[in-house]
Structure 1
Amino acid sequence: MTGTWIGTALEQLRSNVTGANRKGNVGGLLARHLLAGDSRFNVEWDVNCDEAWMRDVYDASNLACVAALAYTIHATGDGTYLADLENGLTRATTRDPEAAGHGTALHDIGVLIGLCIGAQLLRNRSERYAVWCLSVARQLAQTPRGHTDTLTCYACRLCTNDPLAPTLGMQSPVESRAAFDWWFRQPDEMSKAPNEQLAKVRDSVVQDALSSSLDGYSAHQSALIWSCVRNAVSDTTSDALRSPAAVVHALRNFETAMKRWRWDPDKLQNPVRWPIRSEREVQDILWLILRPIFDDLEDEDTLPKFGHSTYRADFGIPSLGLLIEVKYARSAGDFKAIEKEVLEDLVPYLRSPERYREVVVFIYDESSSVQHHDTTIRALRSVTGISDVLVACRPSQLPQHS
């Protein structure tokens, strides 16, 4: 189950990268460079600049072309076009980096790292390329939040033995957190790794990968996130994946999984049919989904008495401080009642924050009253203590109960 969730995220990230797997594409070249031949990524790269590309595309005055050529020479070890690379870097060093505004090629990290790789390749010919690239990288290292960008630090390291050290805030974008993790997996940096911070970074990247849309990330950002998640799966496996985000991800895919819910046609000799007629049966399904992953999943966890009443939550996961409340809607009119029931139960549910801090509400809609879903979801999500609300409709192969 967990493998399926994380596999979907990794496949989307992989798709983002392979979309830039084209000759001379700087994003694809940087992605390959960051993955450093990781055989687990399993793609046949087609990003190197070849003879036809040099003849038809290469422009020594175009910084992206120069960077692409540097990546290619570094990867192949073929020095045939070193003179063309030097011509491009010579032209580049005539530019004033301070005059380059945001949006220009020098502010593209893929271009900058490519130029720094080129400067490294030409170091035995002249130091001036590395000196110029280093000056550009140092100017761009500081982020708007005052942290030191990891990939810009890497660009510096390509040019000097005394590079900048990256810094990071946990509120930084997910690709920045993934880059920070990547930095401390490099051989020269492993001994300096802030292990406690890195554990939090990896956990946060995995949670974001499970709970957010991933199709908007660039090739190199996707490569970094893929690498971080893939290593988190290898290094900390279940700890990183057992999270509230993992619970929500599983429940969000409930409808898709119901494709295999059995309701055989009459023509079969012994038709198998799995009816869902009550809230209890929905709870049974969720137990089968969640119990293999969360060892401490509690069924009908009895909560501390509130006034004269005793309350039982449908499911609790104490290690996550999470309660799961399951509701069954037989008709469109049930949604109003469900909202009221959840609000009434919320106070006694969360009165012991040392045990439970948030609630996920899962509603099975037997009536397929989709016109009411958004109203209920918005209303309940606005309530403090409710972290998410998910609604799943009855699959079409099940007959509707009267």
Structure 2
Amino acid sequence: MTVPDDATTGQLLFSSQLGVFHRRIDTENTPGSLHGMFARQVLGDGTSIRWRVEPDLDAWLRTNVSRLEDAPALAVLGYVATAQPTRLPVFADVLVHGLEGLAGRDPYPGDRVTPLYSAGIVLGLHLAARAVQDRVPQFLTWLRKALSHPMREPNDPWLDLMHQHVLAELTGEPASLPVLAGLADHALVAAFYLLASGTGVARDTPEELRAAQHRAMHVFLRTDPAHLEVRHAALWLNFAEAVATASADQLVISVPQVSQVLRRFPPAMKRWVWDSAERKDPKWWRVDAEREVQAILWIMLRAVFDDVVDEENLPKLGHSAYRADFALPSLGLFIEVKFVRSKSDFKDVEQEVIIDSIGYLKDNERYREIIVFIYDDSCSTEHHDETRRALIDLPGIADVIIVSRPGVLPPADERKAVLSPGAAM
């Protein structure tokens, strides 16, 4: 009988905890759940959770017609606007009217009952305001003042840090975090969330940061998420998955870990540059074709996996020659990248992957699996699940990851308008 060593036991425990936290968060992974939407915003699409939090919008608007001026409902719409920007025209007027009403209220009334003491609501309101900022600029000012108001007295350090996160997003100035040695529980992982988001700056030394990370991981491995609120569980899972991604090259590399790195594409684009035309010497970083997406993925993959290679040439199959975008020989894995310009392209991509998968894997003793990565420039999110389901059951397809054009990048027609000859690049 083989006895697992300490490293193997630790990996098994870590993997088990990830699954338990996933299941806890899945209890709020239901259409219209504010806690579920907060969890999705924190975790993004860089997790194996299949999100189901977006409501049937028309039905939801009818059901909540009497509550559309209330902060929780407006927060839900803020999350929807972020996840499904193409649906914004359906409820933009509702957001404008509701946010105008909130901006006229005292954020800290005499009875001290304020929606600002809910992290899920504050984050959702910020997203809502960003979605319609050209029509309600005064709400962002109201929110910024409310989060820096002397009467603001959050009853928990983790909530204070989430306030600081939103305030940093509003001002563009990262918050100076408390010394991590003095933080515990949810506040500690909230601080790591700010660090990862670029909205917080640590004053700790590298050694102190590693000690705090070790302490947080020790707590994660011994925490039963059944006793946690889902919003807290989301921060803990975000921390643990970030550690797993950062430490991937120190672990036994697996195909799911490659998927996890690739699913970090949306948060990795947070600092992508697309300046306003009014800015002096504006810069516009183009993502107009498959090769630009490949360049971004190369940076992400090469930073973690030492043996990743690009454009792996394969033996001919009949008269056809094949060349994979990326490969990890140690895993027998290909990564194939596709670029979708319009919703009608999804059908073509499905056919291309079917053909490519045969050419890549037939009689190939070295490579056995393919991860398909699709960049959707059209933001046609309503087609993502159908395409994923069409491809995921194909022989040899290990995963299908579909991401949308980040909000910082305008649609293709607007990009062409500014990227005329002689424009800044």
Q: Secondary structure at the match of 2:181?
A: coil
> Is structure 2 residue 51 aligned with structure 1 residue 44?
yes
Q: 1:17 aligns with which of 16, 19, 25?
A: 25
- In structure 1, give the amino acid aligned to 2:144: L
Q: Is the 8 A contact 1:106 1:112 kept in 2?
A: yes
Give the Cα–Cα distance (whole angstroms) in 2 for the partners of residues 146 and 187 of structure 1. Answer: 19
Q: Aligned to 2:197, what secondary structure does the other structure show?
A: coil
Q: Is the 8 A contact 2:178 2:203 kept in 1?
A: no
What residue number does 1:158 align with? 169
Q: 2:195 aligns with which of 184, 196, 202?
A: 184
The range that moved more, 98-107 or 17-26, is: 98-107
Aligned partners of 1:17 and 1:223 also within 8 Å: yes
| 2:176 alignment partner AA | A
2:102 pairs with 1:92: yes
Alpha-carbon contact 1:178-1:228 (below 8 Å) kept: yes
In structure 1, what is the equivalent of residue 129 of structure 2? 119
Gaps of at least 5 residues in structure 1 are 241-402
Paired with 1:62 and 1:222, the residues of 2 have a C-alpha distance of 26
1:97 counterpart SS class? coil
| Pairwise CA distance, 1:69 | 0.5
Amino acid at match of 1:150: L
> For residues 205 and 152 of structure 2, what CA distance do their matches in structure 1 show?
20
Counterparts of 1:2-401 in structure 2, within 5 Å, are 2-38=10-46, 40-48=47-55, 50-58=57-65, 59-77=67-85, 78-79=87-88, 80-99=90-109, 104-139=114-149, 149-162=160-173, 164-186=175-197, 195-236=206-247
Match of 1:149, SS? helix
Contact 2:79 2:128 in 1 (8 A): yes
Give the superposition deviation at 1:95. 1.8
**How far off is 1:163 after superposition?**
5.1
Distance 1:172 1:188, change over 3 A: closer
Amino acid at match of 1:15: R
Q: 1:143 to 1:84 in 2, by over 3 A?
A: closer
Report the Cα offset of residue 51 of structure 1: 1.2
Q: Secondary structure at the match of 1:99?
A: coil
Change beyond 3 A, Cα 1:196–1:83: farther
Quick one: structure 1 residues 170 and 213, their matched pair in 2 at CA, closer, same or farther if it must change by over 3 Å?
farther
How far the C-alpha of 1:142 sits from its partner, in A, is: 6.2
Give the Å deviation of 1:133: 1.1
- Deviation sequence 1:50-105 (CA, Å, 0-9, x none): 11111112422321001000110111112221111111111211221121656642
Output the CA distance in 1 between the equivalents of 2:51 and 2:69: 30
Alignment-mate amino acid for residue 64 of structure 2: V
Change (3 A) 1:236 1:174: farther
Aligned partners of 2:96 and 2:136 also within 8 Å: no
CA–CA separation in structure 2 for the residues paired with 1:208 and 1:61: 40
Q: Which residue identity is paired with 1:51?
A: D
What is the alpha-carbon distance in structure 1 between the residues aligned to residue 31 and residue 64 of structure 2? 10
8 A Cα contact 1:26 1:110, kept in partner: yes
| TM-score of the superposed pair, with normalisation by structure 1 | 0.53
Report percent identity of matched pairs. Answer: 15
Letter in 2 for 1:173: A
CA contact (8 A) 1:202 1:229 kept: no
Give 1:258's aligned residue.
none
Provide the aligned length of Structure 1 versus Structure 2.
239
Q: Counterpart of 1:25 in structure 2: which amino acid?
A: S
Indicate conservation of the 8 Å contact 2:74/2:125, yes or no. yes
1:281 corresponds to which residue? none
Instruction: State the shift of 1:190 in Å.
Output: 8.2
Q: Which runs of 5+ in 2 are unaligned?
A: 1-8, 252-425
The whole-number CA distance in structure 1 between the counterparts of 2:208 and 2:159 is 16
Separation in 2, partners of 1:53, 1:195: 47
TM-score by length of 2: 0.50
Amino acid in the other structure paired with 1:185: A
Q: How much does 1:213 deviate?
A: 2.6
Rg comparison, structure with higher value: 1
How far residue 118 of structure 1 moved from its aligned partner, in angstroms, is 1.4
Judge which range, 57-66 or 192-201, deviates more: 192-201
